[in-house]
Structure 1
């Protein structure tokens, strides 16, 4: 696997319509309206960390996408980048399984502004 540098990761994410940059947890939750809605944002509490925020069974879920070693991963698989992880799950309609839920990425929430 070719792990992207933090700078390359951010540059790649800025190309994605579902990437919202530094928005708060509550702001992100307010953008979700139905199950399958999702977006990715920078963690405000952990620099360099990215959070997938999505709606599952009417409840917002927040999943950290980078493990403590700096690897982009789900429970089952390692990815080259956050974009790779999200696009893989979208394109293949695969749920992201976490401890308490399965988050299906169906409807990207487009950001409202450019960087």
Structure 2
């Protein structure tokens, strides 16, 4: 499976799709959560990077953290560290035969287990928060292809009211196919639960007189939210879009 410098971008995408551990637009946040909750030391995956259309990120679990390494694709070649590979096949072969990466601490990171994209998030993912205490005793056999599809994120957003168009801060949680919002983090019962299986789109919104806004389009109404920063809004959009893509694929 050679790659020429004249191959089209469509062919490059098709070739990437043949790599079982390529996860498309998986966000950094979700990659960390998946590898920490359902991976093992040495689990790794490839995903798109927000650095540009020709940039990717190799995310690798190294003990109790996840490291991210830049990969660039240009004219059919893949640049990774100080190495350049003439094809994706050569790049993959290099990772399989010389699976050693140097981290900023000087320690070597070994690529042991590719994390396949067909493996869904495990049920325990609901209680896992990125950068928190790890669960121990998990191994590669815990990767269950038919585990329930979940997604998780939580945090404060400012939400626009339905009738009176005022803005109020609410606590949001994303689990499975449900986006719930609460009056505050301390409350147990949500004000409302939004069913993402009915959602048609999520995107940045510039119609409001506020910054860092995005909207969620449902049949009965379009919901408007504002995050504390552009980066936070982007993270919500990416994980929601990823979740919608999983729903559309019937996972």
TM range (shorter): 0.7 to 0.9
Pairing partner for 2:22 from 19, 28, 50: 19
Counterparts of 2:44 and 2:86, CA distance in 1: 20
Pairing partner for 1:61 from 40, 61, 67: 67
Counterparts of 1:8 and 1:102, CA distance in 2: 34
Counterparts of 2:95 and 2:29, CA distance in 1: 24
Q: Is the 8 A contact 1:6 1:48 kept in 2?
A: no
1:38 shift after superposition: 0.4
Instruction: Could you tell me which runs of 5 or more consecutive residues in structure 2 were left unpaired when the two chains were aligned.
Output: 119-245
Counterparts of 1:9 and 1:98, CA distance in 2: 28
Pairing partner for 2:55 from 37, 49, 63: 49
Counterparts of 1:35 and 1:65, CA distance in 2: 21
1:10 corresponding residue in structure 2: 13
Bigger relative CO (Cα 8 Å, ≥ 6 apart): 1
* CA shift in 2, pair 1:45/1:93, >3 Å: closer
Mapping of residues 1-115 of structure 1, within 5 Å:
2-3=4-5, 5-32=8-35, 33-66=39-72, 70=74, 71-90=77-96, 92-100=97-105, 101-112=107-118
Q: TM-score, normalised by structure 1?
A: 0.77
CA deviation digits over 1:10-37, x for unaligned, max 9?
2111011101101110111111122110
Instruction: Could you tell me which runs of 5 or more consecutive residues in structure 1 were left unpaired when the two chains were aligned.
Output: none
Secondary structure, aligned partner of 1:111: coil
Secondary structure, aligned partner of 1:31: helix
Q: Is the 8 A contact 2:99 2:112 kept in 1?
A: no
Task: Give the root-mean-square deviation of aligned CA atoms.
Answer: 2.6
1:74 shift after superposition: 2.9
CA deviation digits over 1:60-79, x for unaligned, max 9?
01111117xx3522334211
Q: Is the 8 A contact 2:44 2:59 kept in 1?
A: yes
Larger Rg: 2
Counterparts of 1:7 and 1:41, CA distance in 2: 17
Q: Is the 8 A contact 1:75 1:98 kept in 2?
A: no
1:81 shift after superposition: 3.2
